[in-house]
Homo-oligomer: A and B are copies of this chain.
Amino acid sequence: MQNVDFWYDFASTYSYPAAMRIEALAEGRDIAVRWRPFLLGPIFAEQGWRDSPFNLFAAKGRYMWRDLERICGQFSLPFQRPTPFPQNTMLAARTALALGDDARPVFSRAVFNAEFGQSRPIAERPVIAEILKDMGYHPAEILERAATEPVKQKLRMQNEEARRLGIFGSPCLTIEGGELFWGNDRLEMGLDWALGVRPRA
Number of A residues contacting the other chain (C-beta, 8 Å)? 29
Q: Contacts A70-B189, A180-B66; is A169 near B199 (CB within 8 Å)?
A: no
| This chain's copy number in the assembly | 2
- Once the chains bind, are B201 and A74 in contact (CB under 8 Å)? yes
User: A: which residues have CB within 8 A of B?
Assistant: 47, 57, 59-60, 62-63, 66-67, 70, 73-76, 166-169, 179-183, 185-186, 189, 198-201
Closest 5 CB pairs of A and B: A59-B168, A74-B199, A185-B185, A60-B168, A75-B201
Q: Please, could you name 9 A-B residue pairs with CB atoms under 8 Å apart, sorted by A?
A: A59-B168, A62-B166, A66-B180, A67-B181, A67-B182, A70-B189, A75-B201, A76-B200, A183-B185
